[in-house]
Amino acid sequence: MDIKLIALDLDGTLLDDHKKLSEANLQALSKCVEHGIWVVPCTGRAVDGVPNEVKEIPGVRYAITTNGAVIYDMEKEEALDTCMIPFEEALDLLYFIDSHHVMYDPYIERRGITEPRFYNHLSDYGLSDELKIMVQKTRDVYPSIIEYVKQTHKPVEKINLFFANMAERAQIRAELDKRDNILVTSSIPNNLEINAPGATKGEAIRRLADRLGIGYEQTMAIGDGENDITMIRMAGVGVAMGNGINQLREEADYITETNEKSGVASAINHIIFGENL
C-alpha cells in the first residue's frame, strides 16, 4: 500500500508490557524510514515521555503527544501545533478533581506535574510496577500542583487521573462528560485523560499529514486503547492490536498480533510490505 505516514501508540502497542521496544518492531520501523515513510509516535505521554530508544531511531522526527494536544518536532525541539486547555478552565477542573480521592497530574510544557502525596504513594492508585517507573521518570514534583498551575498561569496539554476505586472513576467520568468544553478518554482501565476539544490523535494525524503534504488515505495508525479510537477511524488504514479493547477492534480495518508478540511489526510487514504472516 502507498502509506507515507504511520502513527503508533506506545503503551500496549509499540512497547511490550515491560515498556520495551522489541527487536522485530525496531527493524520494522527502520525499514519504514528507509522507504521514506514517516514514523510518528502518537501517544498520551508528553514529549519527554517518548522513550529514547524510539526517539533515537534515525528518521523519527515528529511526535504527536498528550493525545494530540501537541505535535512536536523533536529535531528542532519545538511545538508545531497545539490544542490545549486554557489556564482558567484547567484550574477549575483541578479544583473539582482535588475534592475526590484520585491521583492527578496536569501536563505543562512537555512534563507531568505532581506533588509528594501522589508521587510517594503511587501504589495506592493502582499503578503497575512498570507504570510507576515511567511516572517517576516523567513527572516534576512540586509542593502543590494547584499552586504551581496558578503561579505559572500556562495552558495545560492534558490532565491525567489515576483511580484506586473504579466506582469513583465512573462517578467522576459521568460528571466530566457533562462538560462541553473538554474531551474525556482513557488509555488503561483505571485512568481518565482530559483534553481540550480538538486534541485527539486522529485530528492530530490529519494536521501533521497536511503539514507534510500527505493525503489522509496515505496514513496508517496502530493502537490498543480508547484514546486511539479517533486515529483508527480517521487514518487511511486503522490497525487494532490483538490486545486492544473491543470497541477499537470493531472500528479497525485490520487486527494484528498483541504487543507481546510484536504486533506492530506484523502489521507493517503485512500491510505495507506485503509479507505473508
Q: Which residues of 130-167 are buried (b: 16+ CB within 10 A; e: fewer)?
A: ebeebbeebbeebeebbebbeeeeebbbbbbbbbeeee
CA distance 111 to 143: 16
CATH 3.40.50.1000 location in the chain: 5-83+199-272
- Count of residues in the chain: 277
- Grid coordinates representing 156 are 495545560
C-alpha span between 160 and 143 (Å, rounded) = 18
Cell of 9: 501508540
Output the pLDDT for position 136: 92
Reading the block at residue 266, the C-alpha cell is 506484523
Residues of the chain with CATH 3.30.1240.10: 87-195
Per-residue pLDDT reduced to its tens digit, 7-50: 999 999 999 999 999 999 999 999 999 999 999 999 999 999 99
Provide the grid cell at 120: 510517594
Q: Could you read off the pLDDT of 66-118 as tens digits, one per residue? A: 999 999 999 999 999 999 999 999 999 999 999 999 999 999 999 999 999 99
Select from 80, 152, 148, 68 the least CA-distant residue to 114: 148
- The HSE-up count of residue 209 (CA atoms within 13 Å, CB side) is 24
pLDDT tops 60 at residue 180: yes
Topology at the third CATH level for domain 87-195: 3.30.1240
Can you read off the three cell numbers belonging to residue 10? 506506545
Report pTM: 0.95
196 pLDDT higher than 60: yes
SS3 41: strand
Cα-Cα-Cα-Cα dihedral sign, residues 198, 51, 114, 174 = positive
- CA separation, residue 105 to residues 27, 44, 190, 213 (Å): 34, 13, 14, 35
Closest by CA to 71, choosing from 19, 110, 36, is 110
5-83+199-272 fold = Rossmann fold (3.40.50)
Averaged pLDDT of the chain: 96
Measured over the CA atoms of residue 240, residue 252, residue 198 and residue 205, the dihedral's sign is positive
Q: What does the pLDDT read at residue 277?
A: 54
**pLDDT, average across residues 206-218:** 98
Measured over the CA atoms of residue 195, residue 155, residue 160 and residue 222, the dihedral's sign is: positive
